[in-house]
């Protein structure tokens, strides 16, 4: 029962945190350990294990947000860019960033091997990637790190490939800046559960 309570508490404590610093209550190798554990243990369709991650610290972390800023500057109207720049600066101020990818060679290989489920494999790949993201996000919160999930893909895809030497088959799914939070999470409202869950017996 205590383990169940601890799990529920961890899930509840995982929140979107934007106010982050570059400090961390745990060493970087502990963060790496969490990430490797999540990638290893997260379920995937047919045990395909298609999730791929880049974990960026220091100069590499800042390089990602610099190239994101450059990409957005090309499409955001000048009168609106100051707000965009402020948001990006908050991500750049964090300890690091995790880039989540899915290996599309793996997806296409499954489509060829199991044509009956061809249309489902991309969906299942996203589901699996989401579980990796959730495990990491929750585990980071447990050690005192805040994070948020961002989606600047596909706008930054090519720049990421050039900057970090990412294989062509890796499809960028999401970006997660993380660091020690300096402000509480925003209040979260909940829809009535009876509208979202139906129990039939």
pLDDT digits (tens, 9 = 90+) for 13-60: 999 999 999 999 999 999 999 999 999 999 999 999 999 999 999 999
Q: Which pLDDT band holds residue 1 (cuts at 50, 70, 90)?
A: confident
Kindly state the average pLDDT of the residues 150-158: 98
**Interatomic CA distance for residues 84 and 156, integer angstroms:** 15
Contacts with 55 (C-beta within 8 Å, 6 or more apart), sequence order: 31, 32, 35, 96, 97, 98, 99
pLDDT tens track for 57-106: 999 999 999 999 999 999 999 999 999 999 999 999 999 999 999 999 99
Q: Which option is the CATH number for 16-182: 3.30.70.890, 3.40.109.10, 3.10.20.600, 3.20.20.150?
A: 3.40.109.10
Q: What percent of the chain has pLDDT over 90?
A: 98
Contacts with 10 (C-beta within 8 Å, 6 or more apart), sequence order: 138, 139, 141, 142
* More confidently predicted of 128 and 4: 128
Predicted local confidence at residue 2, as pLDDT? 80
Between 2-13 and 121-142, two packed helices, what is the crossing angle to 10 degrees?
A: 100
pLDDT tens track for 66-78: 999 999 999 999 9
Token pair of 201 as six digits: 């017996």
User: How is the chain split into domains, by residue range?
Assistant: 16-182
> For residue 146, is pLDDT > 80?
yes
Q: Which pLDDT band holds residue 177 (cuts at 50, 70, 90)?
A: very high
Average pLDDT score over the chain: 97
**Interatomic CA distance for residues 18 and 92, integer angstroms:** 11
24: number of Cβ within 10 Å: 20
Q: Is 63 exposed, middle or buried (0-12, 13-18, 19+ CB in 10 A)?
A: middle
């Amino acid at each position: 029962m205590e383990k169940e309570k601890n799990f529920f508490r961890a899930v509840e404590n995982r929140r979107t945190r934007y106010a982050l610093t570059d400090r961390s209550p745990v060493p970087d190798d502990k963060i790496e350990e969490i990430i490797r554990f999540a990638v290893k243990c997260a379920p995937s369709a047919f045990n395909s294990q298609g999730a791929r991650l880049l974990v960026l610290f220091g100069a590499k972390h800042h390089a990602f947000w610099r190239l994101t800023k450059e990409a957005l500057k090309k499409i955001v109207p000048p009168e609106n860019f100051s707000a965009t720049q402020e948001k990006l600066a908050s991500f750049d101020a964090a300890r690091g960033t995790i880039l989540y990818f899915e290996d599309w060679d793996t997806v296409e290989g499954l489509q060829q091997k199991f044509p009956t489920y061809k249309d489902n494999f991309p969906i299942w790949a996203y589901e699996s990637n989401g579980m990796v993201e959730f495990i990491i996000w929750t585990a980071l919160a447990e050690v005192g790190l805040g994070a948020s999930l961002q989606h600047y893909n596909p706008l930054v895809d090519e720049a990421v490939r050039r900057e970090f030497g990412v294989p062509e088959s890796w499809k960028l799914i999401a970006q997660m800046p993380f660091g020690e939070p300096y402000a509480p999470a925003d209040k979260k409202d909940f829809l009535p559960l009876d509208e979202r869950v139906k129990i039939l017996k």
